Amino acid sequence: MPEYTADPSRYDGRMTYNRCGRSGLKLPAISLGLWHNFGNVDDYSNSREILRYAFDSGITHFDLANNYGPPPGSAEENFGKMYLQDFQNHRHELVISTKAGYLMWDGPYGEWGSRKYILNSLEQSLDRMNIDYVDIFYHHRPDPDTPLEESMGALATAVQQGKALYAGISNYPADKAAEAFKILKEMGTPCLIHQPRYSLLDRWIEDGLTDVLDEHGVGCITFSPLAQGQLTDRYLDGIPKDSRAGKKDGFLQESQVQENLKKVRAYADIAKDRGQSLAEMALAWTLANPTVTSTLIGASSVNQLKQNLGCLNNTIFSDDEIAKINAI
């Protein structure tokens, strides 16, 4: 692959940058996640092209977690290689995040929310990614057995040590999130951001979480806004072998796809009337929620990424369109 020179026009206005809650940090409206398509089971040069294209398009935020792969850890390792090859001169232009919470190693300290696990995991993540600090460090899921003060205390320590610039939480329900925000604030490391799942097929955050985020001035980055590809034309004519639902390592179940197909077709009709692809409309719809700072997509090809960035051309919905969407 030829050497990489970042596109000098990458900040020319194609990308929108939104302030994250009441913090000083801006995030691109579209961020790129490395959950799928960056593991050792994937084609390295394809992953590298996706990352280059993202950065050239003004996507300054890459989202990882300790367990992304497969195998777990390999997405961070591959990112670390790409970082050295292509991005090390751009470290100050990048917001790199990682997380700890899911199973990462054997024994009693390899998952959930103890201080032991969270801080050891961050050390490993930094090693794998060849960086000295992450910009955002998340607790990936609430732990029912560890006091919240301990898990949040570990995030605060990471920030105090300079190994993370900001703290975040992910998958926390509204009440737990509110508690976490209070604790982090008391510790002097206010929570920057919450990362919940949100799409036309899963609107749970509207039942309380967004109010809590607005009240506390915490930003919101929504993951799986395409419902892992269901809100695209990927599955309208069956399940392709090379799709996430068709591949053995993918997290999307065929049964889920079948279950949602009727709704997806109805959304596709609305998108057509708006002159957008279904994927563009699904992403634009998440961004139309005023609490949402950034929407966090995945892509298995440069072409998908290119198509999805088109959503930024129209993120406004008429009352009539909203009514039709809500009716589905």
Ligand X SMILES: NC(=O)c1ccc[n+]([C@@H]2O[C@H](COP(=O)([O-])OP(=O)(O)OC[C@H]3O[C@@H](n4cnc5c(N)ncnc54)[C@H](OP(=O)(O)O)[C@@H]3O)[C@@H](O)[C@H]2O)c1
Which lies closer to ligand X via its Cβ, residue 154 or residue 169? 169
Question: Helix, strand, or coil here: 156?
Answer: helix
Residue 307 touches ligand X, criterion: CB under 6 A: yes
Which lies closer to ligand X via its Cβ, residue 251 or residue 323? 251
Map the footprint of ligand X across residues 40-69, applying CB under 6 A: 63
Long-range Cβ pairs for the range 40-45 (8 Å, 24+): 40/69, 40/70, 40/71, 40/74, 40/77, 40/78, 41/69, 41/70, 41/249, 44/78, 44/81, 45/1
Residues 26, 58 contacting (CB under 8 angstroms): no
Q: Which of 25, 27, 30, 34 binds ligand X (CB under 6 A)?
A: 34
Q: Which two tokens stand for residue 71?
A: 């195998």
Secondary structure string (H, E, C) spanning 67-125: CCCCCCCHHHHHHHHHHHHHHHHHHHHCEEEEEECCCCCCCCCCCCCCHHHHHHHHHHH
Which lies closer to ligand X via its Cβ, residue 114 or residue 243? 243
Task: Report in angstroms how near the CB of residue 2 gets to ligand X at its nearest.
Answer: 25
Q: Which of 146, 232, 291, 294 binds ligand X (CB under 6 A)?
A: 232
Among 15-23, 119-127, 184-192, 292-300, the segment contacting ligand X (CB under 6 A): 292-300
Q: 10 Å Cβ neighbour count for 84?
A: 12
Please report, for residues 12, 34, 38, 298, the alpha-carbon distance to residue 259 in angstroms, rounded to integers and kept in the order given. 42, 26, 28, 22
Which lies closer to ligand X via its Cβ, residue 33 or residue 69? 33
Which lies closer to ligand X via its Cβ, residue 159 or residue 200? 200
Residues 31, 327 contacting (CB under 8 angstroms): no
Task: Report in angstroms how near the CB of residue 3 gets to ligand X at its nearest.
Answer: 27
Q: 10 Å Cβ neighbour count for 216?
A: 19
Map the footprint of ligand X across residues 137-166, applying CB under 6 A: 140
Residue 276 touches ligand X, criterion: CB under 6 A: no
Among 27-35, 52-60, 103-111, 212-220, the segment contacting ligand X (CB under 6 A): 27-35
String of contacts with ligand X for each residue 98-137, x by CB under 6 A? ----------------------------------------
Q: 10 Å Cβ neighbour count for 199?
A: 20
Size of the site for ligand X (CB under 6 A): 30
Q: Which residues contact ligand X (rule: CB under 6 A)?
A: 33-37, 63, 140, 170-171, 195, 223-229, 232, 234, 243-244, 279, 296-300, 304, 307-308
